[in-house]
Amino acid sequence: MPANPKQLARRVYQGERSGIARAITLVESTRQDHRRKAAGLLAELGSLGAREGLRIGITGAPGAGKSTLIDCLGTKLTRNGLSVAVLAVDPSSTASGGSILGDKTRMSALVRNPKAFIRPSPTGGFQGGVSRRARDVVFVCEQAGFDVVLVETTGVGQTDILVSGLVDIFVLLVSPGAGDDLQGIKRGIMEKADLVLVNKSDGEFMSQASRTCADYASALRLLRSRRQDPDGFPVAMNISALEDRGIQGTWKHVLHLAEWRRQQGFWRQNRQNQAVSWFKSEIDERIRERLLADEELRARISAQEDRVRSGRLHYDAAAQEIVEELWSRVGQERVSGSQSVDNPQQAAK
């Protein structure tokens, strides 16, 4: 792991692949010393001047064809001279049977493309919190100068909602059929989707795919009309990632939506809101980290848990005690910290 965040930040900014890969490994790491270096790297990268790519989230059930779509779309974009970063965000890469293998084999064209960079989700998933690591990785890719950042996520748990909070445009990919219950798609996802693509609209699936698309179109109409949408959005359309049908049209919709939101000011507004919400969740996460880093506090929490479970202590009072204990420890740290500043010998230790 490189010792110098400044150097690494420069390499990332210059778009150097090995530097980008290293930077991502660093920000994904949960090791305390790596966390510190990662913070330094992010700060350095931030100071190098903001770059903005187009961030697109692609979600859908396992096997819906997300990787196939990304391979097809990504290849087209690179042919148009755009550079593309692909990130896979899974709560656990075992959930989809090992996304590393899946991603590399299903993005066979893109994997060999020099204008594309593919980063599968880390083995064992994002232990340090999906959203936090993923947004750092997205930031690294943007600062590396990629024009388009595609984020693939399966609709497992809350990851799709989290990913929708770190992209500009959110795409839901579905398979034909099971239109009656809209495939159990969570309402929250439908509300976030800018485009619903009914994939596998080919061969024997064709007529079923048209019905599914009509179902989604009417569900989207019923659901809402958002202020942040131009006429006709959110769009539901048939595509075939395998046969490269509707992909060009999908991209046109994406560009139209992006342009419209830029002009209306919604683009900037969305990015600003995202930045503020990340800032707030960083605070939450840091407090939580500080709490759990303390062995004695962890033991206290576990003891309180037993008392809450057995009904000896109310959950509210139990939580209050833990938080008070944390504040008092932080206070003690500050006192001993300022003492060591007064005492240069101790401070030097």
Ligand X SMILES: Nc1nc2c(ncn2[C@@H]2O[C@H](COP(=O)(O)OP(=O)(O)OP(=O)(O)O)[C@@H](O)[C@H]2O)c(=O)[nH]1
Binding site for ligand X (CB under 6 A): 60, 62-68, 96, 99, 102, 106, 154, 199-200, 202, 240-242
Cite the beta strand spans of the chain per DSSP E.
54-60, 84-89, 116-119, 148-154, 169-174, 195-198, 235-238
Q: Is 154 a residue that touches Mg ion (CB under 5 A)?
A: no
Strand locations in 134-286 (E)? 148-154, 169-174, 195-198, 235-238
The sheet with strand 169-174 has its strands ordered as 116-119, 84-89, 148-154, 54-60, 169-174, 195-198, 235-238
Each residue of 308-335: b (16+ CB within 10 Å) or e? Answer: beeeebeeeebeeeeeebbeeeeeeeee
Considering the complex, state which of residue 67 and residue 212 has its C-beta at the smaller distance from Mg ion.
67
Least Å distance between CB 200 and ligand X? Answer: 4
**Secondary structure of 108-127 as H, E, C letters:** HHHHCCCCEEEECCCCCCCC
Q: Which does 60 bind (CB under 5 to 8 A by kind): Mg ion, ligand X, none?
A: ligand X
Q: Which is nearer to ligand X, 34 or 245 (CB)?
A: 245
59's tokens: 């979600």
Q: What are the Cα distances from residue 276, in Å, to 32, 64, 83, 282, 285?
A: 25, 33, 28, 10, 14
Q: What is the closest distance, in whole angstroms, from the C-beta atom of residue 11 to ligand X in the complex?
A: 30
Alpha-carbon distance of 258 to 262, in angstroms, equals 6
Residue number with CB closer to ligand X (78 or 93):
93
Among ligand X, Mg ion, none, the one that 64 touches (CB under a kind-dependent 5 to 8 A) is: ligand X
Q: Which residue is nearest to ligand X (CB)?
A: 65
Per-residue mark of binding to Mg ion, 30-69 (x: CB under 5 A): ------------------------------------xx--
Interacting partner of 249 out of Mg ion, ligand X, none (Cβ under 5 to 8 A depending on kind): none
Residue whose token pair is 């009914």 = 198
Contact string (CB under 5 A) for Mg ion, positions 64-103, x = contact: --xx------------------------------------
As measured in angstroms, the least distance from the Cβ of 85 to ligand X is 17
CB 146 within 8 A of CB 84: yes
Smallest separation, CB 155 to ligand X (Å): 9
Min dist. Cβ of residue 107 to ligand X (A): 8
Q: Which is nearer to ligand X, 119 or 200 (CB)?
A: 200
Minimum separation from the CB atom of position 146 to ligand X (A): 20
If one counts every other C-beta atom within 10 angstroms of the C-beta of residue 222, the result is 8
Cα separation, 108 vs 68, whole angstroms: 9
H or E stretch covering 248: helix 247-264
242 binds, among ligand X, Mg ion, none (CB under 5 to 8 A by kind): ligand X
Rounded to whole angstroms, the Cα distance separating 66 from 87 reads: 12
Does residue number 175 form part of the binding site for Mg ion (CB under 5 A)? no
- Comparing CB distances to ligand X, the nearer of 204 and 316 is 204
Closer of 140 and 150 to Mg ion (Cβ): 150
Q: Which residues bind Mg ion (CB under 5 A)?
A: 66-67
